[in-house]
Structure 1
Amino acid sequence: MKPGVLIIGKVDQNEESFIRFSNLFNIILYNFKSKSLLIHDFNTIYKTTNISALWLSHGEFDLDLYNSLPKDLKCIVLCSIGYDRYDLNLLKKKNIILCNRSNLGSNDVADLTLYHTLSAFRFFPIFEKNLRLYKNTIDSRLIMSIDNDNNSSKSNNKYFALGDQCYSQLVHSPKNKIAGIVGLGQIGKQIAIRLNSLGMSLHYHQRNKLSPSNYSLLIKKFIPTNNNSLPLTYHQDLSSLLKISDIIILALPLNNNSLNLINKDNLSLCKENVKIINISRGKIINEQDVIDFLDQGKIGYLSLDVFHDENNINKRLIFDKKNNQRYNVSLTPHIGSSTYDQVLQSYKLCQDNIIDIVLNDGNGLSPVNA
């Protein structure tokens, strides 16, 4: 009998590698409706079914679900990179290997960060919104020369504006500005490479400084031969990075040390009008503290691709105290790595992990608790 693989989420059943994969396993495509129903089905329909692997594109585990997992389960494979919702120790006690997407999608997340960085300095989203609204370039720029707080124009000519102002803020080039990257993993490195192309001064903070050998590998692997340098300044203390950065980019995993890392105390260390981008995990920032600093005008621009509650975005991130839409906040719906190219790579990695663990008795290609 073929080992069973229960898949929760969307897969392309006509994709070539999946067709080959399905010849090796008993594929069960599960229509997820609720966690309680899944627990019920584990305890009834699938109680005697040989399920060796769970392939998940979404879902959140709690103790009841852990206790109901199929008895033959050897691995859980994720299409995502984040695994902070899973109890690694409990899975290890059950001899279940958890695999994530590893570093797939780093380029795509860095591309989105580049978009948010340019938006933070140049205010592209609000200019586009106004052009769609007014349908002419002159009014689209002119309306931006009005200070929302004082309802007055800073432009010398009330009938014309160059587009170098966005309400109460001036539009700046990112060139020569200081970018502070918190977390220089695979995503952080790709972000640094892209911001370097903008001429930004790159600074970073993480637990350990990048070793000379890892720096050389980074240069060799990613930097063109005609420009074999990537100037990076290390900050052992987060506080020193926050104090000098014009823009802060969060690219670190969520754990006990990073939970609510960007709070009122750390925000108080930042430059006035600092720009903040979070493409990592929503709970790394304290949303209420960030909203308070936005209201006080101490944060110049905020870009988020992740949130505390992705099913119920805090409305204060969208609207200010006067119920006006915030012009200096850019939000994207957790699409950092959402490209079809990356999805196909994730599918293939899920398949390879399952084959290695279930058929070859290995530890998988991208285990996080083995």
Structure 2
Amino acid sequence: MMVKALFTYNYGKEKMKKIKDLGYEIVYIKERELYYNEEIKDIEVLVCYNPFNSLDITKLNKLKWIQLSSIGIDQVPKQYLLEKQILLTNNKGGYSIPMGEWVVLKILEMLKKSKNFYKKQDNKLWKIDTSIIELYGKTIGFIGTGSIAYESAKRLTGFEVNIYGLNTTGRSVEYFDKCFSTSEFDYFLSLCDILVLTIPYTEKTHHLLNESNFKIMKDGVYIVNVSRGSIINEADLIKYLKNGKIKFAALDVFENEPLNENNPLWDLDNVIITPHNSWVSEMRNERRYNVIYENMKRYINGEKLINIVDLKKGY
């Protein structure tokens, strides 16, 4: 008997046929056009990003598994999935390479003052800046040592820097010179010239960075955030950017997105703002599909899926 699956994105005729050939009946409805109807009432699998505002999944009585195209799971009704024991998998690792490249780019842009040079170019101003600093020898700390941090660290090794990581137990991770446990958080922060946030957002990581630990950091620390905006207390961040304790911040994520035009971050010279764009590359759909296909194959064969989300932990 065929397994019925609902897709909210069309990966192309050939790729969709490969999934059908595994033993699936596929229904395709664009996410923005998706609502509950008779055609989808008996689906067992949902492959999507975020249809949860318009689609009431409590009506999908046969739903057993949701495969997300995203890494983050903020959009998912987690409590309902827990109650109904619906399996959730995500696209962990699918965006790690472009995000790793992005982290390296933003670190260099901050240290080499690219933002200032772009402004000078716009104004046709030829003026040398002698305050540029090297990346060589700096200590870069990653809060979180998952796939994004891994790909970032891998690319940073050639710069002859010290690469430190923070994870739950302090377990060793390839490309990291040393890893610290969360019990050593304050000490870890005090060591970093550059701090990179790559951890998932959960209740425990809400405003993980705030005034109390900004005070612990080195004077003139640099910060890169590619995880979630709410991991940093934005008001405290702005305060410490203004007083110079934080030298520069490259922010791809924010507490509220899109970023309001009246937000003070727009007006700070020591901030690089990008619109949650670090995950984008020409390979994104191919990598998404590869994860989806692998899991669809495993599911139909009764095998354990990859990228299973622990709903209690939130990642």
The verdict on a shared fold, with TM-score over 0.5 as the criterion, is yes
1:223-257 Cα distance to aligned partner (Å, 9 max, x none) = xxxxxxx5335364211122232111111121222
1:134 aligns with 2:123: yes
Q: 1:231 aligns to what?
A: 177
AA matched with 1:134: N
TM-score, L = length of structure 2: 0.87
Query: Given that residues 100 and 148 in structure 2 are in contact (C-alpha distance below 8 angstroms), is that contact kept between their aligned partners in structure 1?
Result: yes
Deviation at 1:272, TM superposition (A): 2.1
Aligned-pair Cα RMSD in Å: 2.6
State which of 7, 16, 19 in structure 2 corresponds to 1:18.
16
Deviation at 1:110, TM superposition (A): 0.9
Q: 1:343 aligns to what?
A: 285
Deviation at 1:369, TM superposition (A): 4.2
2:258 & 2:239 partners in 1: Cα distance? 22
Deviation at 1:264, TM superposition (A): 1.1
Q: 1:154 aligns to what?
A: none
2:134 & 2:206 partners in 1: Cα distance? 32
1:32 & 1:334 partners in 2: Cα distance? 20
Deviation at 1:89, TM superposition (A): 4.9
- SS at 1:33's partner residue? helix
State which of 361, 364, 368 in structure 1 corresponds to 2:302.
361
Query: Given that residues 53 and 354 in structure 1 are in contact (C-alpha distance below 8 angstroms), is that contact kept between their aligned partners in structure 2?
Result: no
1:309 aligns with 2:300: no
Query: Given that residues 79 and 346 in structure 1 are in contact (C-alpha distance below 8 angstroms), is that contact kept between their aligned partners in structure 2?
Result: yes
1:3 aligns with 2:3: yes
2:46 & 2:260 partners in 1: Cα distance? 29
Residues 12 and 233 of structure 1, relative CA distance in 2, 3 Å threshold:
closer
Deviation at 1:317, TM superposition (A): 4.7
State which of 156, 173, 181 in structure 1 corresponds to 2:142.
181
Query: Given that residues 95 and 284 in structure 2 are in contact (C-alpha distance below 8 angstroms), is that contact kept between their aligned partners in structure 1?
Result: yes
Q: Which runs of 5+ in 2 are unaligned?
A: none
- SS at 1:319's partner residue? helix
Residues 314 and 249 of structure 1, relative CA distance in 2, 3 Å threshold:
farther
Q: 1:255 aligns to what?
A: 202
Q: 1:201 aligns to what?
A: 162
1:247 & 1:175 partners in 2: Cα distance? 12
1:157-213 Cα distance to aligned partner (Å, 9 max, x none) = xxxxx222xxxxx321111122121111222222222222222222222221224xx
AA matched with 2:135: P
Q: Which runs of 5+ in 1 are unaligned?
A: 143-161, 165-169, 220-229, 321-325
AA matched with 1:55: V
TM-score, L = length of structure 1: 0.75
2:155 & 2:186 partners in 1: Cα distance? 24
Q: 2:238 aligns to what?
A: 291
1:295 & 1:59 partners in 2: Cα distance? 39
1:315-344 Cα distance to aligned partner (Å, 9 max, x none) = 435433xxxxx3221122222221122321
AA matched with 2:120: N
